[in-house]
Structure 1
Amino acid sequence: MKKAILITIILISNLLIGQEQKIDKIITSFDDYSSLYREVAYCHLNKSTFIKGEMIGFSGYVLDKDSKVPSESTKNLYCVITDASNKVVKSKLVKVDNGFTNNVFTVDSLFSSGHYTFKAYTNWMRNFDEPNAFVESFRVIDPEEESSIEKTATIQKLDAQFLPEGGFFVNSVKTSVGVIIKNNQGYGVQDVEGKVYDSNDQLLISFQTNAFGIGKFQFTPSLDQTYKVEVNHLGKIYNYEIDDIKPKGISVHVNNSPKLLAVELRTNQSTLRDIKGKSYKLTVHNGKTAKATPVTFKEKSLLKIVNHEELFSGINILTLFDENNKPVLERIFFHYTGINFINPGTPITTTYKDSTRIRIPLSNLAHSSTDKTNISVSILPETTKSYQRQHNIISYTYLQPYLKSYVENAHYYFTNVDAKKKYDLDNLLLTQGWSSYNWDDIFNNNVTDTYAFEDGIVLKANQNKKRQKEYVVYPLEQNNGVKVSLSEDQDSFVVSSLYPIESEMLGIGTMNKKGKVWKPDLGTEFYPSEIPDFENTFKVLQTNQSFSPKGISKSEFSLIDLNKTQKLDEVFIKAKKRQTKIENLKKDIFTKVYAFDDTKRNSNLTFANYVNAYLPDYYARETSGSFEIVPRVARSNVNDPSPLIYLDDQLIVNQNYFYAYNMNIVDYLVVNENGYGEGFLGAGGVIKIYTSLDFVNKNKRGPFRQFEFPLTFAKNKNFYVPKYNVYKGDFFKDYGVIDWIPNCKIDDDGSLNFTVYNPANSPLKFFIEGITNTGDLVSEVVVVNNDVYN
């Protein structure tokens, strides 16, 4: 008897150990698969329907997929527009700072009437099958092509799917069935009535779809029956069958209460005989972390109760595994708790000349770091038909990356959330089946870092026949200069994190033993050198065509010559920025600022020439490849030290570098005669030289070679609002643009502040999107009523 008990204990212990090992394998495999950093992209577009000639304004957000906070690592974001044939129409590389970026595309002659897809992604995202990139459809209307289009009736074809909870209809097992009915454009058909009949034409259950074509019913399928579903839409009857019923299997039913989540696993008698006592596992994961619990079937029904505190905030993917760690079924559940929404208060408006100043309080924003927070606002007429986007920033970061199919009107589930919207979202997830995470890939760890995580542009410079030890990489608008020293056995060097802006060229010089700079004999490679391809992981919904333009004419609005305007503005802004910087430096009582002009640049001055002619505190001399600079007036009885010399904020230790140094690309100098802030080393003072390649084209005599970047970052261009000839007509009300603010100003009280020019003197609608540095999200539509302007 004791021996039998001992054997039983050993068998149970071995069983438990084996079960723990199999659970450990699931968790370990998932941890390995999810260990690589992931990010998700979202873009707030100012509209979804554009008239040819307008601008597409967008704010880009790149977030850490796990923590849902802005990514501080990502710098390169590719933004690509493709047509219906997936041909690239326009593309840009934009720089991301603290998770944010913004730019514009012009809807110009490259566009015709039709549907286009906007994609935003990083190179790193290409390593993963999960849909982490941003993909959205928008529509373009060319008035010359669609000036007289009338709405025409289209033949309606319904696609109906009946999806059992967990993935399978199982004989004699009561099952919740998700219904989704779509039209031929892929949109859900609302208020469709359906009835389920058995083989004897006996009515079993009725159902009705909601606003997105989704419904639900429960029934117990039987193998000896065939089931017909009769759908009535607009007086026409459509018939479908439910016939894929498995003789064996397991079904799942999820029921949520205010504090608990009940997960019921159901099976039939014949399946129970096969699985009774076997080691099943129920796991839950959120894309980053997985948990598991053992499950053993003793009866046809098994109930697991989960406290809400044990759930992840956001997505929860429940998977049941059999004794061989094969996934049997999956159910996706969404837990709203822990997602921090920012709620806008009542707008405060004041009239200022012909404009209106708007102040919108936002809860929680006052406690956030405003320099790492971004809020974008699209301002349109209240009756606009041109903003019919499927997603907002919350739905695209918390929901879409975890699903296989594109969600219609996903923003609905995250705007003014209440019990009904939570119920509707759960019905949506019931119809989704398996998540975007493939367990075969997870167990096989089919994730690599084939595609590099990019931070700007990387230069690799290869020496040709002439070998040198010292090189100078000249500064860019967003990069300081770099000095490179090579050892005897090195024949190349690498400079990373370069951020060239559009037409910028890279200047590289080499310095000989005497310290003189010459043009180098180099070959260059740049990474990345082109915008990479990106294939959609799912089919996006086209912008809804439930409305059509009628009587649109280009005479209704006029556009600025954007090329000329942008060029003029760019020069003005750059000049103003330079002047402001110089004026701020002049406020420092310890420094003197010497601004250059073209006269000095064209004088072919060396640094020594310039010092002796323009810097009264110093004297310089250069002979036989050496350079020396000393104070003009002796400060002590011993030899006075030379001043420290910085070139574009890089300390040049070997001052022979400045032998015969040509000043033809210098922007300005800052001289600190007393060397305050540099300690003992600055006893001889400090001279800081700042250069700019803006002057390269004017001064071809520079002692360096210029290299062209095959790929550069897009300029941060301004958004221009069309000028409308008629502000009271239907065209402006339906398609007009009031303004677009990609990075709205936030005051110390955590309120949005902006000024709106509203020539129509009509009600406005504000589409507000954004995120703070701590992951608090805002996505709201705010209407300013007409009485504000009366």
Structure 2
Amino acid sequence: MKKIISFSVLFILLCSFSIVIQNHFTELVSEKLEQYSTTNSPEKIYVHTDKPYYALDETIWFTSYLVDGITHEKSKKSWVIYVELIDEKDSLVSKKKLFTNNIAAAGDFKIEKNWKSGKYLLRAYTNYMRNKSADFFFKKEINIWSADKADSLELSLVKPSGPDLSFQQIKPDLQFFPEGGDLVENLRSKVVIKVKGVGLKDITFSGKILNAQNDIISNFGTSKFGLGVFSISPQPEKTYYAKLEVNGVEYKYPLPKALPQGHTLGVINAGNHIIVNVKSNETMALSNTYLVVHQRGKQILNKFEPEPKDSYTLKIPVDNLKDGVVHLTLFDATGNPVCERLVFIANDNNKGIIEIKKDKGVLGTRKRQTIQITTKDQNGAVLPSHLSMSVRDLNAFPYNRFHKNIKTYLLLNSDLRGDIENPGYFFDEIDSKKRYLLDLTMLTNGWRRFTWKDLLYNKDTNSFDAEKGIYISGRTKRLKKPYGPVSAPTRLTFYGENIIQEPVKKSNISGEFKFGPFIFFDSIQTIVESRLTDFKSEREADRNILILIDQNEEQPKVNHNRVTKNNIASNLQLENYIKVTKYIQQLNFELDQQRQQLEEVTIIAKKKEDYEKREEDMNNQTDYGFPSNRLDLETDFIDYGQTVFDLLATVPGVSVFNDSIYIRGGTGSPLVLLDKFEVDMDFLSSLQASEISFIDVLKGADAALYPNSGNGVIAIYSKTGNTSFSRNIKRKPGIIDFPAKGFYTAKKFYAPDHLSGFEEATKPDIRTTLHWEPKITINNEGGQDISFFTSDSKSDYLIEIEGVSQSGIPLHAVSTFNVD
């Protein structure tokens, strides 16, 4: 009787514990996944360029696609995209700020002649994406070649394709990936083998799995990508190893040690459904375990197991899932993830097709080609989409249909921890073999967008906001005692085609104000005003206020992890590209020479160096021409943690003692000006070095322009002080003007018209990018026609189209035509 009561109590306690676990942990997982897939959903960016590599003096044409990281539909967060070009020294050489409220945004980078050839990094991100690791930024390697220097080709970097037969002298690197994560004693599991090493992935290997007594347990063989698989049921306290024999040399590799107690997670991808097998080698050990299935963070299924059992099977239909990686995780009774498995879903219901109909398959030189582009779903209905198209010379840019594109990036590479080589292979005419190899690839990779520990237990705080437009922000400070931040009415006015004035806002207790978001392109002249009380006041004292405009945020650190490598061609093809580029440059040079040969006028121009431009900009802000001494904080190395007194101490002819300043030759304190307005010496202590653009020191005759300047003048100019704009505005404290930089407007790709263009008929036409169409919109009404002319080059040409449908289906298609 006692035993019956004891067992009943134990059973009740176990059930109560099960309910507590289920209610707390399962709700936590569901809640965090819901937050991740909605409120905190990530963003993804893909950038389509017109060609894989470039020469100096060319232009990189691109279209960037910004999508929600869960659905791949239009992002509901950001409308602002930053695209950067970074050199081999991790220095930013060019940056574009683009606007889009509908997935795609076009841009371009002009490659200057004086740039160095080498490998550049094309990087794209949103401000919101900065809340996570820079690993999630889009990053693509761009090779830029110099056509003038033969040694700049670095053709030795281009390796012949095919196996590297030097592997005979190298031990192959063999890696093991048990399904679910671990081998477990007495439980049969699949184990994927991956052979790594230069040239080894394309070579077929065969081997054996043996135990410590050299008994053969299983055989295995590798195929494409060096992948193979075998099954094993490890026995307690037994060890196993794989044996390979290569050219008469035998190599041994120990298998991972099996766990004495544990769980396995086996998955069969049957196409229209997946079968999940969960097992444990302990009786009743699956009690209180929790299986979670999600796709890119959106929960598909969860199963809490309250019953004391050691196995169960699930069948999960995939008809309603999007294409991409599905993530399965098994949590044990204590809430720790113990098994993990990735599965790739390729659902026929998500099929998106780009139809390319060409006017002609073979054309002559300088002839019009018209292409009709339509996107359709699996039922043949029009699929509204956003696309971009490149047409390029196949002799200069050979096409590898297995290389990365927008489909492989959004569905595979952007979500996996490892890198997948030639991912296009898995999307090119999918068959059973490719599905099988893709499933083995899933077993060798892990999910990388979040870890369960971070998702469940770390507070998700965002330091960077999603941007809908351009913000103009800054701070207000007192010009007189008591110095420091002040809350003050502030007003912003745009002087464009029309004068637009924003309502007055009061800066906060820290003096901070912010206007926006605004949507405008290029630059627009802007005035910001502030008063200590209100704008109706006529008292001059109400203008004793300093306005400092915030500068652009610091550029994110350069991270070279997970960069999409360039699809480099063969030596012969690169040489052909360089020859064509040199010929184009020679033609352009000769045309420029002809334009400059005027009968009686000789034009001599010299490009201003950066320092000359900077000097001119600073002199334009002054009324006195040239100073006695100058400290330029934007070109000299400055520690922005320094005070103004520290900075002045570095200027020749200036002495600083505590908070007193003297100019050599003077007997007292000099006149101090900030943006041409006189300020007290004490005010300098409220200024930071980061707020200052440059400092001029005037003495003797140079200072005579100003009254009471017998002891010299120290003229300080803030980074957003008075510029040359609006000279008619009477300068007073409490007002500044500056050009506000807007979104970049992409240049138009030069497309010659050989029917009606006079200039085009009189000069040669050689183009490696025959045409670039950055924005093609397919709406419900149907397709779109794109027309362009062929050039003088007889060659085969590739049409490559990439994009995303409005429903979140990534699209990619190619076609070819010939010019004879």
Give the TM-score normalised by structure 2: 0.67
Q: Secondary structure at the match of 1:136?
A: strand
Task: Give secondary structure in 2 for the equivalent of 1:25.
Answer: helix
Q: CA separation in 2, counterparts of 1:489 and 1:92?
A: 31
- 2:771 pairs with 1:739: yes
Q: 165, 171, 178: which one pairs with 1:164?
A: 178
The answer to whether the 8 A contact 1:72-1:99 is kept is no
Give the C-alpha shift of residue 768 in structure 1: 0.8
Alignment of structure 1 residues 661-676 onto 2, 5 Å:
none
Q: Could you tell me how far 1:706 is from its partner in structure 2? A: 5.7
1:547 aligns with 2:570: yes
1:428 and 1:243 map into 2 onto residues whose CA distance is 19
1:83 positional shift: 4.1
Residue of structure 1 in register with 2:16 after alignment: 14
Distance 2:780 2:310 in 1: 60
TM-aligned CA deviation for residue 18 of structure 1:
2.8
Give the CA deviation at 1:741. Answer: 1.4
SS of the equivalent of 1:212 reads: helix
1:278 to 282, 287, 290: 287
Match of 1:482 in 2: 501
Tell me, yes or no, if the aligned pair for 1:49 and 1:387 is still in contact at 8 Å: no
CA deviations 1:467-522 (Å, max 9, x no partner) are 99684511458x9722333579997643112356555442346896599xx99965
1:413 corresponds to 2:446: no
Provide the C-alpha distance between the structure 1 equivalents of 2:774 and 2:142, rounded to a whole number of angstroms: 18
Partners of 1:770 and 1:778 within 8 A in 2: yes
Per the alignment, residue 442 of structure 1 pairs with 455
Cα distance change of structure 1 residues 104 and 282 upon mapping to structure 2, 3 Å threshold:
same
Q: Is the 8 A contact 2:123 2:137 kept in 1?
A: yes
8 A contact 1:70–1:99 mirrored in 2 = yes
Alignment of 1:136-155 (within 5 A): 136-143=140-147, 144=149, 145-146=151-152, 149=155
Q: Match of 1:335, as an amino acid?
A: I
What is the rounded CA distance, in whole Å, between the counterparts of 1:110 and 1:161 in structure 2?
46
Q: Once the 2 structures are TM-superposed, how far is the Cα of residue 90 of structure 1 from its aligned partner?
A: 3.3
Aligned twin of 1:526: 550
Which ranges of structure 1 fall in alignment gaps of 5 or more residues?
566-695, 724-731
Kept after mapping to 2: 8 A contact 1:55/1:720: no
CA distance in 2, matches of 1:64, 1:80: 21
Distance 1:557 1:203 in 2: 65
Superimposed CA distance per residue, residues 91-130 of structure 1 (whole angstroms, 9 cap, x where no aligned partner): 3322223222111123335654443332211121122349
After superposition, give the CA deviation of every residue in 1:445-471 in whole Å (9 maximum; x if it has no partner): 342111222233322354555999684
Secondary structure of the residue that 2:352 maps to in structure 1? coil
Match of 2:357 in 1: 347
How far the C-alpha of 1:441 sits from its partner, in A, is: 0.5
Q: State the Cα distance separating 1:546 from its structure 2 match.
A: 6.9
List aligned pairs for 1:501-516, cutoff 5 A.
Answer: 501=521, 504-508=524-528, 513=536
Contact 2:141 2:564 in 1 (8 A): yes
Q: Is 1:241 aligned to 2:259, yes or no? A: no
Aligned pairs for 1:89-488 within 5 A? 89-109=93-113, 111-129=115-133, 132-143=136-147, 144=149, 145-146=151-152, 149=155, 159-184=173-198, 189-198=201-210, 199=212, 201=214, 204-222=217-235, 223-230=237-244, 232=246, 240-268=253-281, 272=282, 276=285, 278-290=287-299, 291-295=301-305, 301-309=311-319, 314-337=324-347, 340-349=350-359, 354-364=367-377, 373-383=385-395, 385=397, 390-463=403-476, 471-476=491-496, 481-485=500-504
Separation in 2, partners of 1:170, 1:10: 31
Write the distance in 2 (CA, Å) between the matches of 1:136 and 1:455: 25
Alignment partner of 1:37 out of 35, 38, 41: 41
Segment of structure 1 superposing worse, 465-474 or 739-748: 465-474
Q: Which residue of 1 aligns with 2:696?
A: none
> Aligned AA for 1:30?
L
The one-letter amino acid of 2:180's match is: G
Provide the residue aligned with 1:683 in structure 2.
none
Out of 731, 744, 748, the residue aligned to residue 718 of structure 1 is: 748
**Correspondence for 1:68 among 51, 60, 72:** 72
Structure 1 contact 528–711 (Cα < 8 Å) conserved:
no
* Partner amino acid, structure 1, of 2:583: E
- The normalised TM-score by structure 1 is 0.69
Distance 2:134 2:328 in 1: 17
- Identify the residue that residue 816 of structure 2 maps to in structure 1: 783
After superposition, the Cα gap between the structure-2 partners of 1:361 and 1:501, relative to the gap in structure 1 and judged at 3 Å, is closer
SS in 1 for 2:425: helix
Contact 1:31 1:289 in 2 (8 A): yes
Q: Which moved more, 1:519-528 or 1:39-48?
A: 519-528
Would the aligned equivalents of 1:166 and 1:329 in 2 still touch at CA under 8 Å? yes
In 2, are the aligned partners of 1:89 and 1:110 still within 8 Å (CA)? no
The one-letter amino acid of 2:556's match is P
Q: Distance between the aligned counterparts of 1:509 and 1:317, measured in 2?
A: 54
Counterpart Cα distance in 1 of 2:86 and 2:386 = 27
Distance 1:543 1:526, change over 3 A: same
Alpha-carbon deviations, 1:123-182, whole Å to 9, x = none?
211223495421222333334124584667886665432211111123343221223333
Q: What do the CA deviations read for 1:318-361 (whole angstroms, capped 9, x no partner)? A: 10111100000100112222763331335131579722111133
Instruction: Give distance in 1, aligned partners of 2:327 and 2:218.
Output: 29
Helix, strand or coil at the partner of 1:170: coil
AA in 2 matched with 1:547: S
Q: 1:245, 1:503 → 2: CA distance?
A: 65
Per the alignment, residue 670 of structure 1 pairs with none
Q: In 2, are the aligned partners of 1:282 and 1:294 still within 8 Å (CA)?
A: yes
Instruction: Classify the secondary structure of the residue corresponding to 1:177.
Output: strand
Instruction: Please give the alpha-carbon distance, in whole angstroms, between the structure 2 residues aligned to 1:488 and 1:210.
Output: 66
Alignment match, 2:788? 756
Q: Does the aligned pair in 2 maintain the 1:128–1:447 contact within 8 Å?
A: no
Give distance in 2, aligned partners of 1:379 and 1:436. Answer: 34
Which residue does the alignment assign to 1:615?
none
* CA drift at 1:197: 3.7
For 1:317, give the aligned amino acid.
H
Q: Which residue of 1 aligns with 2:678?
A: none
Tell me the SS of whatever aligns to 2:439.
Answer: helix
Matched, 1:28 2:31: yes
- Counterpart of 2:798 in structure 1 is 765
Contact in 2 for aligned 1:476/1:499 (Cα 8 Å): no
Q: Distance in 2 between matches of 1:356 and 1:26?
A: 55
Quick check: 1:313–1:336 contact (8 Å CA) kept in 2? yes
Counterparts in 2 of 1:313 and 1:380: CA distance versus 1, 3 Å: closer
Amino acid at match of 1:80: E
In 1, the alpha carbon distance for the partners of 2:779 and 2:32 equals 47
Q: Helix, strand or coil for the counterpart of 2:387? A: strand
Residue 5 of structure 1 and its aligned partner are, at CA, apart by 9.1
Structure 2 gaps of 5+ residues are 480-485, 593-722, 754-764
- Asked if structure 1 preserves the Cα contact closer than 8 Å seen for 2:35 and 2:41, the reply is no
Query: Structure 2 counterpart of 1:14, which letter?
Result: S
Identity %: 21
Task: State the 1:69 CA deviation.
Answer: 0.9
**Cα distance in 2 for residues equivalent to 1:102 and 1:394:** 19
